[in-house]
Amino acid sequence: MAWVYLFVAGLFEWGWPVGLKLGLTDSGLHWGWILFAVLCMIASGALLLIAQKTIPIGTAYAVWTGIGATGTFVLGILLFGEPATLARIFFVGLIVVGILGLKLASD
């Protein structure tokens, strides 16, 4: 069950950078998006805390940040038109391989 908590924590990691990006625009602060970001931070941290009861801290943290980074990368491409170059995709793929490797090595 700890891995489920860790995975969901990683999904919440997607929310806070997106919320922060949408929360500050040329027209000023958008408090709804900033609140969304803060709530995602709290949920993500709380689930990481629970997952670390069972999963070693180094593994949990690496997987948590890896899921967050990968998801945020994809959302950046889909929502904000960020570049989807072959090199960027390749290196994010290495992060995914690392996440899967840590999961397999911990069983």
Give residue 89's identity as a one-letter amino acid code. Answer: I
Ramachandran angles phi, psi of 28, nearest 5°: 120, -165
Q: What is the pLDDT of residue 56?
A: 95
User: Tell me, what's the pLDDT at 54?
Assistant: 96
Residue 27 has pLDDT above 80, yes or no: yes
Residue 8's nearest CA partner among 39, 43, 37, 32 is: 43
User: Each residue of 42-96: pLDDT tens digit?
Assistant: 999 999 999 999 999 999 999 999 999 999 999 999 999 999 999 999 999 999 9
pTM score over 0.95: no
User: What's the confidence (pLDDT) of residue 106?
Assistant: 85
CA-only gyration radius of the chain, Å:
15
8-state DSSP, 85? -
Q: In the predicted model, is pLDDT for residue 107 greater than 90?
A: no
Which among 72, 56, 78, 80 has a CA at the least distance from the CA of 6?
56
